[in-house]
Amino acid sequence: MQFTSYRKWITAGAVCLTIGACTPTYKNHGYIPPQEDLDAIIVGVDTRASVEETVGPPSSGGVLNDGGYYYVRSRLRTFGPTAPKEIERQLVAISFDTAGVVSNIERFGLEDGQVVPLTRRVTDTAVSNKSFLRQLIGNIGKVGAGL
């Protein structure tokens, strides 16, 4: 009789632990300025310095020094042993003209995202079809005293 009681408690505990292990975990990354701060930026009037003063420095800048400011925030959900999945992404892009004055403010979400194919540029090496041992033996005597 007593063994059956313990078995029920152990089974109930195992079920609770199993259910608890499968609850989703959320992680937030990045920063997006609040809408009222973005509303304070006036297109055609504010500059890079005034934007940084109003909403803070950007998460990332454009490719060039004169590129726009990008503020990115994402939310990831992990459920049990599965890989994390991005469930929310927001991006605020502030563009500047050549004089450094705000020309546009845009907001994008995860639904606006597009897959961007990246190309891989690899520099060809002088090594062609040589094994490690052949390369090692080929370098004997090529070491100079200037090292």
pLDDT in tens, 65-109: 567 888 888 889 987 778 888 888 888 888 888 888 999 888 888
112-138 pLDDT tens trace = 665 444 444 444 555 566 677 777 777
Q: Decide: helix, strand or coil at residue 60.
A: strand
Q: Nearest 5 degrees, angle CA 35-CA 38-CA 41? A: 155
pLDDT tops 60 at residue 54: yes
**93 burial via Cβ count (<10 Å: 0-12, 13-18, 19+):** middle
Q: Say how far apart CA 31 and CA 37 lie, in whole Å.
A: 13
Q: What integer pLDDT is reported at residue 36 of this predicted model?
A: 92
13-47 pLDDT tens trace = 777 667 666 778 889 888 889 999 999 999 989 99
8 vs 59: which has the higher pLDDT: 8
pLDDT tops 70 at residue 1: no
Q: What integer pLDDT is reported at residue 114 of this predicted model?
A: 59
Delineate the domains of the chain, giving CATH numbers in brackets.
24-113 (3.30.1450)
Q: What integer pLDDT is reported at residue 46 of this predicted model?
A: 92
Strands 102-109 and 85-96: antiparallel
